Amino acid sequence: MSTGRPSKATRRVAAAAIAAGLALVMSGCGGEGGGGSGGDGKPPTRAAAPKDTGRGAPAADAKEAIGEVKGPDGVVVTLHSAVRDTGGFVTISGTVTNNGTKIFNAINWRSNETGMRSRSSVSGATLVDKAGKKRYLVLRDTEGECLCTTGLSGLKPGESRPLFAQFPAPPEKVTEVDFQLPTMPPATVSISD
């Protein structure tokens, strides 16, 4: 007599198949070096490469600068690109350099949200379309985390780190916007496709 429920043997086979599939998926997630390292035996940093969560930093061409912002205590943000994606967003990539004499923490660059895990991020960055009189905030993932550089703390004098932030794309006709970080003056940048 059939109860409409799978037998114990059927459930075991299904569980084994699921476990094998998960093991296969997880083995492919480690990258070239396996085990989640960057290939050199070191654990990956949060700003190493773009991830689905958006917390990594896309590679910026350090040779090219489309804008620069100089802030207090010798902190300089050099913007390398502002790229419009077909997915409907703009990614700003750059480098933050501490030319000062004190350790820098980006605590003032975060947004006022209380649910953010990283207190040192560029989640407070904005893009401003002056002609259209609109301000665009950093995008968030499904967990509420910013699609931007996080963990930006302990930047020693003379040290540089990559920086990125993703925003909703302004209309196609908008080719120039102001990139703003709290406590810093704005930088006007051109959006490329």
Q: Give the model confidence (pLDDT) of 14-51 as tens digits.
A: 444 454 444 443 444 444 444 444 444 443 333 333 33
Could you read off the pLDDT of 133-156 as tens digits, one per residue? Answer: 999 999 988 888 889 988 888 999
What is the distance of C-alpha 128 from the center of its chain? Answer: 19
Task: Please count the residues of the chain.
Answer: 193
Could you read off the pLDDT of 58-94 as tens digits, one per residue? Answer: 444 556 899 999 988 899 999 999 999 988 999 999 9
Q: What is the H or E stretch that residue 179 is in?
A: strand 176-180
Instruction: Give the phi and the psi of residue 9 in degrees, each rounded to 5.
Output: -65, -40
- Residues 6 or more apart in contact with residue 24 via CB below 8 angstroms: none
